[in-house]
Amino acid sequence: MRSSPAVRARGITKFFDEVIALDGVDLDVPAGQVHGLVGPNGAGKTTLLGLLLGLAAPDSGALQILGAPVGRSLSVPDGVAGFVDGPGLYPGLTARRNLAALAALRGLDRADAHVGEALEQVGLTDVADDRVQGFSLGMRQRLGVAAALLTRPRLLVLDEPANGLDPAGTRQVHRVITDVAAEGTAVVLSSHRMDDLAALCAQVSILAAGRVVFSGPVRKLAAESGELDYRVVVSDPAAAPTVVSQIPDLRLLPGRDFGARYDSEALVVRGPVTALDQLVARLVRADVAVRELAPVVAPLEAAFLALTGSTAEPSDAGSR
């Protein structure tokens, strides 16, 4: 049983009337892995997480969760916890009472100890006796994660757990997720933020229009970005174009396309990273100092945009 993957999905399809939300999705998540789902709005992330939580059943395909096949009946599979579309909480109750109610509902022994531990894990001990209606979005998210941890799940399913979190809250939730994964719990989470996924996930699956367009380690995704646009600020802007023109794989892009985002001093060049190496070396040889050099769009985000055919940034995604 221990060696069973937490999730094994093959050819999962899910329709909502005429809309195909998932179209032949495969997903493998071993125990102890943090697996990220990313994709543009409407790509199918929430639908897939909902299937893992037993909130809906696939129309076709095979889904195994914690080694057991999932049938047509709707119920949260044993050992699975989490939330989609935000955690369900009682605003009029305190954080502690919310968790106590859930613990009672799930028939947990030593409920008080579990509740105290879960609040501690997400850093809400100090506000445990405050009503949830006064909580910020980020505090609610953290309480939702605490609620999911109450039953010590072997598969934790979280839809946008970083939504609304400030940097301290994000770090706290990341730590909780990393800790439970280190103890063997598989975590499947969605995020619009590539920086979140890069920090947390061993593997990511990119969904676009219900299909998996990439699945693998984050570093492999970054390597897929190939040619990137780089913004370069040098000490002698007039000299730089000549140097750029001497490097076969590098092109200078018209400045006007970037003028609104960047100062007029910056050049924008497009090419593989090896061409950038040559540029820096040649500029230095020509006595031109490089003051700034950075990709216009972060490599992970560039790969995301290329794979999903998006033209805009993935929501509030992460070039931050």
Site size toward ligand ATP (CB under 6 A) is: 11
Give the nearer residue to ligand ATP in terms of CB position, either 17 or 263: 17
Distance in Å, CB of 5 to ligand ATP, minimum = 22
Give the nearer residue to ligand ATP in terms of CB position, either 137 or 284: 137
Rule CB under 6 A: which of 180-239 touch ligand ATP? Answer: none
Distance in Å, CB of 208 to ligand ATP, minimum = 9
What whole-number distance in Å separates Cα of residue 201 and Cα of residue 26?
Answer: 18
Rule CB under 6 A: which of 10-69 touch ligand ATP? Answer: 16, 19, 21, 39, 41-47
Distance in Å, CB of 264 to ligand ATP, minimum = 36
Give the nearer residue to ligand ATP in terms of CB position, either 7 or 100: 7
Indicate if the alpha-carbon torsion angle 233, 237, 243, 248 is positive or negative.
positive
Contact 36, 162 (CB under 8 A): no
Distance in Å, CB of 193 to ligand ATP, minimum = 12
Give the nearer residue to ligand ATP in terms of CB position, either 38 or 240: 38
Give the nearer residue to ligand ATP in terms of CB position, either 5 or 44: 44
Rule CB under 6 A: which of 81-120 touch ligand ATP? Answer: none
Residue 311 is which amino acid? T
Query: CA 202, 42, 205: angle at the middle one, nearest 5?
Result: 15
What whole-number distance in Å separates Cα of residue 259 and Cα of residue 262?
Answer: 5
Beta bridge partners of 175: none
Distance in Å, CB of 20 to ligand ATP, minimum = 8
Distance in Å, CB of 224 to ligand ATP, minimum = 21
**Site residues (vs ligand ATP, CB under 6 A):** 16, 19, 21, 39, 41-47
